[in-house]
A and B are shown apart, each in its own frame.
Chain A
Amino acid sequence: MSSKVPQCRDARELAARLVQTAGTVQKDDLSLLAKMHGWCDALLQAGDALAQAGAVETATALSRLLEALILNEVPDADAALTETVATTMCLGEQLGVSASDAPPCPTPKASGGTGKAKVQPEAQGVVAAPAGASASAESPRLPVAATPGAEAPQPLTAGPERDAAQFAELAVTSPAPAEEAVIEAVGESPSPAARTETPYEQTPLRIDPKEQEFVLAFTEEAREHIEAIEAALLEVEREPGNTKRIDDLFRPFHTIKGMAGFLNLRDVNCLTHEVETLLDQGRKGKRTVTPGLIDLVFSVVDIVKAQVAAVAAHLAEPKGEVVPQPPVAQMIERLRDVVAGRAELSARAEEAGSAALRVGENLVEQGAVAQEVVDFALQMQAQGATPQKTGELLVEMGAVTAKQVDKAIRVQTQAAASPAAAPPATVASAKVGAAATPAAAPVEQSIRIDTAKLDALVDMVGELVIAQTLVSANPSVAQSQKLGKDVSQVTKIIRDVQETAMGMRMVPIGGTFQKMARLVRDVSRKAGKQVELTIAGEDTELDKNVIQQISDPLIHMVRNAVDHGVEAPEVRRAAGKPEVGRVHLAAFHHAGNIVIEISDDGKGLDPQVLVAKAMEKGMVQPGEELTEQQAFHLVFAAGFSTAAQVTDISGRGVGMDVVKRNIEQLRGKVEIASEKGEGSTFSIRLPLTLAIIDGMVVKVAEERFIIPTIGIEQALRPVPQQITSVQHRGDVLNVRGRLIPLVQLGALFRMTGRVDPCEAMVVIASSDAGPVGLVVEELIGQQQVVIKSLGARFEGLRGISGAAILGDGRVGLILETSGLAVHYHEMHLAQEKDATARNVRVTIPAPAAEQPAGGREETPSWTVDDSGADAAGSAGEPERQTELVGAGT
């Protein structure tokens, strides 16, 4: 939308967004902070308007503040946030937006101030909040005529009244405004002059095409939160004294507020903000939770619901540029009044509907729906946006249930039957029943399902496949051609069902990567760097839960890569690198894991600097020797990073302890590879909680194991010439000049002794330490399997990543090559020790005497001599030595 408006307007709009967002932003809400930063930058680009307002410095300061906050480079985030909010407000004032262009929701700070100022209603005067009348979207709040008398609960002048101008508005938009509008007003009469607050002004809602996707996601999510709110509200109603219940209400409201603020849905944002303030009073015991309060909150929920439904409908099928909005100004005013103690909450609406004339009114009277929502529905009807009847429309908005509408209609028809009946023409919504049919319900793009149900489905389908295999194997199938055909048809269908079921939990990581693209853009621009982000493996599917939980750590790491990894253009030029830095994001399967890699071609990590820094902090004791990996992993230590560090070393450490913890929670691992001056690669390895892999089923002793196909290079039956026994390291297989260590699975798992590789099969698979050859008895075949966790009881198994149900229903264990290699190596070391011990006690067997020279006669030393693992030295007696080692078992 910004392209059409003049620059000046543009700047104001940006400032308005900033001011508005500042009211809701949290110090750890990085995406929102980043968004604010983006707006701030854009504002700085719009130099002229800014200069005219003398706000350049403020904007620059704000940009810096936000930057510091985002990068966590501030000693006290709370203080920094307060300062940020203050600066934003200042900027808003300078650009004159806080009052007119975008009346802000009271910021936490501001509301504290104004709230206190309004404690005494008589000092401030009272403002009308006629719940019955509707404010139109465009009209500013008009002075309201007071009608003294009626139900004044406080020393306030109050009475049923309505706003003539608004009435007129309604008359234009509503098909039968007169009847529609006759609704008891609960509000109190005003003294508008005494109000200090800027009245809420509704602005037309347009949705930025670029944000459509987010807004859509918001509508889906908001529906869930609304459900949660409604459930929580009912709980509060049941137990008004329990403040914990109010806490439960808070969370969904807060989430909606945050998201709405982010997506520039001002109405929703402001409404929820006011409700939060109100609830906060309840939570802190400043306000008792009355049925009236609950009704009010329900009304707000209705409005939010209606707005969400309208947005969703607009996205599905836009009718014009502007999204229809339910009137909210009235409700916001009312909420503010209630919060400030200027208005009392009305008593609960009576259950029994009166013989009023309209469905909408009846519904309002039943307490089923807020007046605003009915008005909104009528307004939509009037605009010709929908041919539906009021009742239908309300049901579709999700504001009421068909049952409630039915009831309202019953009341209505009863009234019509009575002598003072309304003209038959007003009998609307006879077809409400139809509105409740699925066809009229809003179309859901996706639904959320309890993952336990999905797991159960996958398990059941697995059983189905096994049962089906048994049927197929039945000899009678082979006898009847017809039966055989039918069975194969069923088989095909079951395969499809299985595939679908298995894929349901999996989500490609592409979406998460896309978010990173935006982040890289923002961060690099801010840091004055040129960074190109490349992405690979977007289609790699991950468990939905894993994707959700990996998102935050990824944000941290990508930001670090841009901010601290990639150097400034000048530095890069001086180092002979291209000015544009590269950050690469990749996801792939590897050795039974899913790996997400974040690599940059920046300055890399310097282990020495890291160690020096850690020593300075007392995390490493002087004289302690660290491997390169250990040094790299220092960046994950809590408290390793401070603001000061960010400049002098590559400063990775911004929340990196959190990153590591998050990944460990997923039972994943982070690995770092870095070359000083060349760049670094952070690899996140995630185990497959629920994932499908292609596996090679192999047989070892009586058991079958699964080797993930992804890690398999080849399988072969070696010839004796290819096998060399390296002393105490086991056998090595020579494949076209490459020496590949062999892992005797049977011996490793203590199922068999060592088998001759030449009479077995060797599967060459990749591991962290390079390829290894797994010696197995035979290859059974390739199969897609669902990985099942072995559960907490088997945590700590080395070389086994999980289990899978094989075709015959038995369990096969899934091998993890890297773990196997490590485990095998350890076993050898242990055996060596064992052998050493034996050799001390026992007379040295004859073969040792035949050893080629090289100090080998001194027996106790050769067994522990690791470096003596040269092939030449042991080639003479390979078999015997292996046996010697094997004897130690």
Chain B
Amino acid sequence: MPAIADHPPVDVNSSPGADLGGKYLTFALDREEYGVSVLKVREIIGIQDITKVPQTAAFVEGVINLRGKVIPVIDLRAQFGLPRMQYNEETCIIVVDVGDMVGIIVDTVREVHNIPASAIEPPPTLGAEGKQDYFLGMAKVKDDVKILLDIDRVLKAEKLIQ
């Protein structure tokens, strides 16, 4: 998304970005950096054995045992249509709480940033319709741009069953 930087600044007060400030956990996925509100994050675990579940969509990696609970794990790369990558020791599962718990596989977890609302701009209206619903906004942290994800939407949007 190189277009982001060129995006004209918008009045943040009138945008949904106004109340978006807060702490975000950032992670890498392909060549982009994403952020997800820490309020949604339950924990971060390393990649582990995942039990495949048949009849599910391609981005569903399967299920894992999170201290006695069976939770689904999805590959965020696959869901975003990015090329798949071999999992390595950097690969992490971020367990998010979106009403139920879901693990999302990301390339690597970066850090937690405190992002003020003023640094958040609404998502660009580029690209395919619907996809940008996943985005809360674009945050400028130092020289980087992080894409803030509306993780509820990301995980609600698609059915796991084929």
Contacts and interface: CB of A to CB of B under 8 A. Distances in A.
Contacts of B68: 458-460, 462-463, 805
Contacts of A794: 53, 56, 72, 160-161
A217 interface: no
A811 B53 CA distance: 10
B86 interface: no
Interface in A675-709: 702-703
A797 B53 contact: yes
B64 interface: yes
B31 interface: no
A813 B70 CA distance: 10
A873 B114 CA distance: 73
B52 A791 contact: no
B51 A459 contact: no
Indicate the member of A459, A794, A805 with the most B CB atoms within 10 Å: A794
Interface string A443-482: 0000000000000001110110000000000000000000
Interface string A770-801: 00000000000000000011111111111010
A754 to B, nearest CB: 16
Nearest to B156: A793
Interface in B133-162: 160-161
B145 to A, nearest CB: 31
B100 A803 contact: no
B94 to A, nearest CB: 17
A751 interface: yes
A243 B161 CA distance: 46
B54 A748 contact: yes
Nearest to B71: A791
Contacts, number: 71
Interface in B63-106: 63-65, 67-72, 100, 102
Nearest to B52: A703
Interface string B27-59: 000000000000000000000010111111000
A749 B54 contact: yes
Contacts of B62: 811
Nearest to A701: B52
Nearest to A811: B51
Contacts of B71: 791
Nearest to B155: A793
A812 B72 CA distance: 13
B51 A810 contact: yes
B65 A797 contact: no
A459 B69 contact: yes
Contact of B49 (A460, A750, A810): A810
Contacts of B54: 748-751, 797, 800
Contact of A811 (B56, B70, B100, B161): B70
Interface residues of A, number: 30
Q: Considering residues B51, B54, B67, B71, which has the most beta carbons from chain A within 10 angstroms of its beta carbon?
A: B54
B-side interface size class? 20 to 34
Contacts of B51: 703, 803, 810-813
A515 B38 CA distance: 52
Contacts of B102: 793
A809 interface: yes
A374 B46 CA distance: 64
A811 B55 contact: no
A575 B102 CA distance: 61
Contacts of B161: 794-797
Contacts of B49: 810
B158 to A, nearest CB: 10
Nearest to A789: B70
B53 A459 contact: no
Contacts of A459: 67-69
A811 B65 contact: yes
Contacts of B67: 459-460, 463
Interface in A508-563: none
A793 B72 contact: yes
Contact of A791 (B55, B65, B70): B70
A748 B55 CA distance: 9
Interface centre among B64, B68, B72, B100 (most CB of A within 10 A): B68
A792 B65 contact: no
Given A751-B52, A798-B55, A811-B64, A793 B160 contact: yes
A797 B70 contact: no
B49 to A, nearest CB: 5
Interface in B96-144: 100, 102
A790 to B, nearest CB: 6
B17 to A, nearest CB: 30
B56 to A, nearest CB: 7
A795 B100 CA distance: 14
Contact of A803 (B56, B70, B160): B70
Given A459-B69, A805-B68, A811-B65, A792 B55 contact: no
Nearest to B160: A793
Interface in A795-837: 795-798, 800, 803, 805, 809-813
Contacts of B160: 793-794
Q: Among B51, B64, B65, B72, which residue has the most Cβ atoms of chain A within 10 A? A: B65
Contacts of B70: 788-791, 803, 805, 811
Contacts of A789: 70
B97 to A, nearest CB: 13
- Among A459, A462, A811, chain B packs the most CB atoms within 10 A around the CB of A811
Nearest to A786: B68
Nearest to B68: A459
A750 B64 CA distance: 20
Contacts of A809: 65
Interface in A737-777: 748-751
B141 to A, nearest CB: 32
A429 to B, nearest CB: 49
A812 B52 CA distance: 9
Contacts of B56: 794, 797
Contacts of A812: 51
A805 B65 contact: yes
Contacts of A788: 69-70
Contacts of B69: 459, 788
Nearest to B69: A459
A702 B62 CA distance: 13
Nearest to A457: B68
Given A791-B70, A810-B51, 11 more contacts: A702-B52, A703-B52, A751-B54, A793-B102, A794-B72, A794-B161, A797-B54, A798-B55, A803-B70, A811-B51, A813-B51
13 contacts: A458-B68, A463-B68, A703-B52, A749-B52, A751-B52, A791-B70, A791-B71, A794-B160, A795-B161, A796-B161, A810-B51, A811-B51, A812-B51
- Give the 7 A-B CB pairs with smallest separation, nearest first: A459-B68, A749-B54, A811-B51, A803-B70, A788-B70, A796-B161, A462-B68
Interface of B: 49, 51-56, 62-65, 67-72, 100, 102, 160-161
Interface of A: 458-460, 462-463, 702-703, 748-751, 788-798, 800, 803, 805, 809-813
